[in-house]
């Protein structure tokens, strides 16, 4: 234990050494022992373990698609549900009509018929700044799309935000017979070079008859297209998309779009159909000139619902049973849980002032021999287990009281360092003292309290906003915290393995406190 004297004690020492032999103890003799103030540092052992995330609250505008297998954690599948929306009071172009009496024309479509229809999955190219996919860019994969059934909207409107959790039971919301199309793809299509600016896309062909049905509904029931909610209920409930072939790529989907193609007349400035510039052997003008065009009709947007589903293989259980290490794995894989010795801290330091409590989590360097590997989570959240659900559902921010976040220090120490969680320790101890004073404290209540107050280490994405305060000055604020849904992992130093009742590799909680009176 290291002793640090306060300013008052130091001044007393200076006076002591400036006096002669007859007064060398006068400062100490005058000052009562109970008024002595000193600062100390001690450590407590923390047990850590790996716990299954099961599912996480996914508040995101990104959808994830594909399968990725890892020798450490096994495979995980990413699929998603997306609704579609329409522009308010959307109307398809009218069918061409020429009034010979007035020599005027209206409309452009050759007939009320959809000639082409496809579903487009759009995502970013991989660049240094933006990642549109993870894994092997040339792995052969296949995606299939299914139209949702009526149960989806019924549950979505009546069961709160269940669809935000990544263990959603998608089987309830589509039928295998409802397949609308499939297509093969690679994350980077070198053969076709399919690009739009900074984006790639995958097109899934659909039956144009479905488009013709939608077109007729628009003609007969324009009220179905009044707004997105009515459109979802009456016209197109949405789609479930899954990658059902291929392994090694996860795509980060920006949006899903329905394109429909139609045949149009080429017209002049008055809207009259133009004749083809050809003649037969008798000099007769050719037939009307037509062309085919496809239009961006319906799309997923940030305003409509997207629900991600992640499924992990049983191999993940091996990490949970590993008692010599702990792990972090996203998306929705495993967290590290810490059992803080609150009672021991209170017993030893309950009458002292906690100045700081430092928690350091070291992770082992990645020793993977595989070309494509997952990176360590760049940021992690530290939060009590009992607070996790509400924190994400209410879009809370780390408050440095019961929730904290830090960035991974990869270049210097390969650690996650929480410099001061003393607020959390004091709040939790006081909550327990108050709860015990208010009623009978049973072994069942004790076990539940210990479980609820374990600290979870959770990979997160932290959104920040930097505001300029004038010349060469700025303030950075946290404006959002969400679960990290991209592939990442870390193996942490720790574990719950014991020898002779003592942890083999405990995490050290470093506590600095002030004590009044003699040590």
Domain residue extents for the chain: 2-31, 42-55+316-516, 74-310
The C-alpha atoms of residue 286 and residue 352 are separated, in whole angstroms, by 98
**Of the candidates 5, 2, 24, 3, the residue with the CA atom closest to the CA atom of residue 15:** 24
Q: Given this model, what pLDDT does residue 79 score?
A: 98
The C-alpha atoms of residue 111 and residue 109 are separated, in whole angstroms, by 5
Q: Given this model, what pLDDT does residue 240 score?
A: 97
Burial of 308-338, coded b for 16+ CB within 10 Å and e otherwise, reads bbbebeeebeebeebeebbbbbbbbbbbbbb
**Of the candidates 424, 420, 425, 430, the residue with the CA atom closest to the CA atom of residue 401:** 424
The C-alpha atoms of residue 189 and residue 195 are separated, in whole angstroms, by 9
Q: Given this model, what pLDDT does residue 519 score?
A: 56
The C-alpha atoms of residue 296 and residue 373 are separated, in whole angstroms, by 37
The C-alpha atoms of residue 392 and residue 482 are separated, in whole angstroms, by 7
Structure tokens belonging to residue 454: 């374990």
3-state secondary structure 199-241: EEEEEEEECHHHHHHHHHHHHHCHHHHCCHHHHHHHCCCCEEE
Do the beta carbons of residue 69 and residue 248 sit within 8 Å? yes
Q: Given this model, what pLDDT does residue 32 score?
A: 57
Q: Given this model, what pLDDT does residue 510 score?
A: 98
Distance of alpha carbon 462 from its chain centroid, rounded?
A: 10
Do the beta carbons of residue 385 and residue 456 sit within 8 Å? yes
Phi–psi pair at 101, nearest 5 degrees: -70, -35
Burial of 48-80, coded b for 16+ CB within 10 Å and e otherwise, reads bbbbebebbbbebebbbbbbbebebbbebbbbb
The C-alpha atoms of residue 519 and residue 507 are separated, in whole angstroms, by 26
The C-alpha atoms of residue 416 and residue 362 are separated, in whole angstroms, by 6
Compute how many other C-beta atoms are within 10 angstroms of the C-beta atom of residue 115: 16
β-pair partners for 405: 381
**Of the candidates 367, 352, 360, 375, the residue with the CA atom closest to the CA atom of residue 419:** 360
Consecutive 10-residue averages of pLDDT for the chain (519 residues): 43 42 37 70 97 93 95 94 95 91 88 96 89 93 96 90 94 93 88 64 96 97 95 95 96 96 89 70 65 89 89 94 96 97 96 95 78 85 98 96 93 90 97 93 96 98 87 84 96 95 95 82
Structure tokens belonging to residue 38: 């000193």
């Amino acid at each position: 234990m290291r002793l640090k004297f306060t300013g008052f004690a130091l001044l007393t020492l200076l006076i002591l050494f400036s006096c002669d032999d007859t007064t060398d103890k006068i400062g100490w003799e005058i000052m009562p022992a109970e008024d002595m103030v000193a600062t100390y540092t001690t450590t407590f052992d923390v047990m850590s373990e790996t716990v299954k995330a099961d599912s996480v609250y996914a508040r995101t505008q990104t959808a994830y698609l594909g399968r990725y297998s890892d020798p450490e954690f096994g495979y995980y599948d990413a699929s998603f549900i997306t609704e579609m929306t329409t522009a308010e009071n959307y109307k398809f172009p009218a069918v061409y009509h020429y009034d010979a009496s007035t020599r005027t024309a209206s409309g452009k479509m050759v007939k009320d018929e959809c000639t082409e229809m496809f579903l487009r999955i759009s995502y970013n190219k991989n660049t240094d700044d933006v990642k549109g996919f993870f894994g092997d860019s040339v792995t052969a994969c296949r995606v299939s799309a299914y139209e949702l059934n009526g149960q989806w909207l019924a549950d979505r409107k009546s069961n709160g935000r269940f669809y935000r959790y990544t263990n959603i039971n998608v089987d309830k919301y589509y039928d295998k017979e409802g397949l609308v199309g499939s297509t093969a793809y690679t994350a980077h299509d070198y053969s076709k070079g399919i690009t739009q600016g900074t984006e790639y896309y995958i097109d899934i062909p659909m039956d144009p008859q479905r488009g013709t049905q939608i077109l007729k509904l628009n003609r007969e029931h324009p009220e179905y297209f009044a707004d997105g909610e009515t459109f979802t209920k009456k016209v197109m409930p949405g789609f479930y998309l899954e990658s059902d072939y291929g392994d090694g790529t996860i795509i980060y989907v920006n949006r899903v779009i329905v394109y429909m193609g139609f045949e149009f007349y080429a017209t002049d400035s008055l809207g009259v159909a133009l004749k083809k510039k050809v003649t037969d052997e008798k000099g007769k003008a050719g037939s009307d000139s037509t062309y085919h065009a496809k239009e961006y009709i319906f799309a997923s947007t940030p305003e409509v619902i997207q629900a991600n589903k992640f499924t992990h293989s049983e191999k993940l259980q091996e990490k949970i049973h590993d008692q010599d290490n702990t792990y972090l794995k996203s998306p929705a894989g495993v967290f590290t849980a810490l059992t803080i010795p609150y009672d021991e801290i209170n017993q030893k330091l309950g009458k002292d002032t906690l100045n700081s409590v430092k928690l350091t989590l070291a992770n082992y360097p990645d020793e993977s021999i595989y070309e494509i590997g997952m990176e360590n989570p760049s940021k992690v959240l530290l939060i009590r287990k009992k607070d996790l659900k509400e924190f994400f559902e209410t879009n809370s921010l780390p408050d440095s009281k019961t929730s904290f976040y830090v960035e991974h220090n990869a270049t210097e120490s390969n650690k996650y360092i929480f410099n001061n969680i003393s607020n959390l320790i004091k709040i939790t101890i006081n909550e327990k003292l108050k709860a015990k004073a208010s009623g009978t404290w049973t072994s069942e209540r004790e076990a539940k309290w210990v479980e609820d107050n374990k600290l979870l280490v959770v990979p997160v994405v932290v959104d920040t906003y930097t505001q300029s305060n004038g010349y060469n000055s700025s303030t950075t604020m946290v404006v959002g915290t969400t679960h990290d849904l991209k592939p990442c992992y870390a193996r942490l130093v720790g574990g719950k393995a014991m020898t002779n009742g003592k942890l083999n590799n405990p995490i050290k909680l470093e506590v600095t406190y002030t004590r009044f009176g003699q040590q």
